[in-house]
Amino acid sequence: MKNRVIPNAVRDLSRGHGLHKLRRVIRASWVRSLALLGMTVWFAWLLLPKPPLLEGISFSQCVRDGNGKLLRVTLSADQKFRIWTPLHDISPALIDATLRFEDKYYRHHPGVNPVALLRSALNLRPGHAHNGASTITMQLARLRYHLRTRTLGGKFVQIVRALELERHYSKAEILEAYLNLAPYGRNIEGVGAASQIYFGKTAAHLTRPESISLSVIPQSPTRRALLVDRDNGSLDSAQSNWYDRAKIDWQFSARLFSARARSERRFLAPHFVQQLLAAEKGRDEIVTTLDLAKQQLIERRIADYVRTNRSRGIQNAAALLVDTRDMNVLAQVGSSDFFNADIQGQVDGTRSPRSPGSTLKPFVYALALEQGLIHPLSILSDTPHSFADYNPENFDREFVGPIRASDALARSRNLPAVELASRLRDPTLYEFLRAAGVKLPRSEPLYGLALPLGGAEVTMEDLVRLYAALANNGELRPLRRTSREAIAARGRSIMMPEAAFLTLEMLNLPRPEMGRAYSDHAAPVFWKTGTSHGFRDAWSIAVFNHYVLAVWIGNFDGRANGTFVGRIAAAPLLFQIIDSLRLSWPEPNQPHLPPPGANLKRVSFCAVSGDLPGPHCTQQVEGWFIPGISPIKPCASSAVKSMNFGRRSCCRSFAGLECRENCRRLSCPERPRNLSRAVETHRELFRRLMGKRFYRRRSAQSHCKPRRMRMCARFTGSRARPLSAKPRRRK
């Protein structure tokens, strides 16, 4: 087939005619007006100011435990529950459900859907159903800038604001802001708060049915908010409508899902959270070191213990659990009932200064070990002694005479502790506590030698830090409550590692309800009790596994109770908690070994004198000492051989003390024939004199029974004279 040939003249004429038509169209006034309008719109689009997106919006503080479990959601400045949640932490199912229901063309329009606007305008005629035309961007503009969009003027401002947002922010930023400001009923805003309050989970863990239920609430939050104890018919209807509009073949069970809100949340770890919120102001999310499971276990043990012992006057208790490896606070119970005003339950017992009783005694012995005053088997004197105007007594008002240092600490004897505290130098106990960060508002002379017996008030936090230093080889570290706080690789050394190890060894005591034979095979617990003067505070503190646990029993108003004794009031609760923790989180038993490279040596000692055994020391025990520091010398018990027990007796071989001439009247029941008999006779004599209270103190003198038995003045700390048959009565 031949092609038609168009002459050049005709072709040129046709081309010229087309160009002429185009010129006429361009020159038309309406075209120029349209072009001018387009350029104006373009320049206006470029010149649109950048509006604030979320600046100035306050969010709730969200406090979580170390495993991400929610502890508390606070109200924002405008009294809303609003948790900031990034877009990548929101479930994709929720994002998809929201876009399908609210704005399925969201990713394609410039903030305003003109088709939807035109359809909505046409439906304004009488007799037609009204349809919404707001896009997600327009809804964000209404929520963010508090616009009234019921009028044409308000709608125009909403459109302009939506265009401004689209001009300066990405689609992801706009969607993220909308999902954090959308209303979900009552005073709940944002998917973060809605998912936590309604379903008890983060927005990232919402299921598909839960996501669909939340996606339909913002359209009518007042009527569709989830209810606690019943279904919401309006929400169920909107949810069914979503499935119809989505035209997706969902499972029948998912379509019948009826969402209900969880029951009202109670305060979790209230004292711990209150302390953090006061210190961490302005932070949207606080991830703590708390272990909620351990916290609730200790709360249950305390509640059960108080309920069982209420008849004994025990109404309140506090406890603090710390992991010694990183000093994380795992549980903090400030009182037995936070909401009980009768016991002042909102007072935090872990931070309230209280008299610690005897809980500071281990640090007297630790300093004495470090300064070379004693080793664990040194013989100390538990006898009446006056320190200037201070005359301390033991808790049981008795004295046991010569006693090993380890036994003196285990039995919490006051006189040996005070005598050691009087000999401490550089540092003294006061200087040691001040260096460790313990707040002592008074000067050292005002506390005097009563400091080891609870003469100053300290907090449970301070005690836990000090006992954790014993477990960490003498290194003091601060408590750690939030994940953003750095973990201290090494702490500040406040005592020798050897002294810390030996002090803990001296605290390895049998439990109150069992004997030493059983405790030797059980997992070790290094613990100490304390009772304040006047029976106002009962303490018990333990180091076990890799934890430090402190327990306090008392009243915040300072009321005394004869039951408030550390061993009978606080120790049972302490071991109940320890047993529960070990049962719920079992761990292999680890032996308590000296720190690597420690300057420690284990040797045999004379069981009588506490010195290195000599040829006549038939009774020997093994123990630790610090070479070059511990006061150790050969036993001088061979001198007992030449002593005449009928005319002159010396306590040198037993207690390591010197004697004077006034010891001549100290007679033994019979003259021993050999060394072992002499030692046993001394043991029996001191048991009779000290253990059975065959004496009593009057003023500054000691009166001894039987007659003509007189103790060494240096040993008793006061002059002694024979006791007459009956004391004279004053007229």
For the annotated catalytic residues, the residue numbers are 102, 358
In angstroms, the CA 420 to CA 400 distance is 17
Assess contact for 345 and 339: CB atoms under 8 A.
yes
Assess contact for 333 and 295: CB atoms under 8 A.
yes
CB atoms near residue 179 (< 10 Å): 25
In angstroms, the CA 573 to CA 551 distance is 8
DSSP annotation of 570 reads I
CB atoms near residue 479 (< 10 Å): 17
In angstroms, the CA 506 to CA 526 distance is 8
Q: Which of 389, 445, 392, 446 is nearest to 415 (CA)?
A: 392
In angstroms, the CA 291 to CA 270 distance is 14
All residues at 6 or more sequence positions from 715 whose CB lies less than 8 Å from its CB, including other chains: 381, 383, 651, 655, 657
End-to-end CA distance of the chain: 159
Give helix 171-181 / helix 191-199 axis angle, nearest 10°.
40
Instruction: Please tell me whether the peptide bond between 706 and the residue prior to it is cis, using omega within 30 degrees of 0.
Output: yes
In this structure, which amino acid lies at residue 195?
S
In angstroms, the CA 495 to CA 369 distance is 10
109 φ, ψ (degrees, to nearest 5): -105, 160
In angstroms, the CA 238 to CA 28 distance is 53
CB atoms near residue 403 (< 10 Å): 23
DSSP annotation of 508 reads B
603 φ, ψ (degrees, to nearest 5): -135, 180
Q: Mapped to the 3 state alphabet, what secondary structure does 335-394 carry?
A: CCCCCCHHHCCCCCCCCCCECCHHHHHHHHHHHHHHCCCCCCCCEEEECCCCECCECCCC
All residues at 6 or more sequence positions from 568 whose CB lies less than 8 Å from its CB, including other chains: 512
In angstroms, the CA 702 to CA 24 distance is 132
Tokens 């983060």, located at residue: 202
3-state secondary structure of 640: helix
In angstroms, the CA 200 to CA 125 distance is 45
- Strands 695-698 and 701-704, bridge-based pairing: antiparallel
In angstroms, the CA 605 to CA 617 distance is 9
Assess contact for 189 and 81: CB atoms under 8 A.
yes
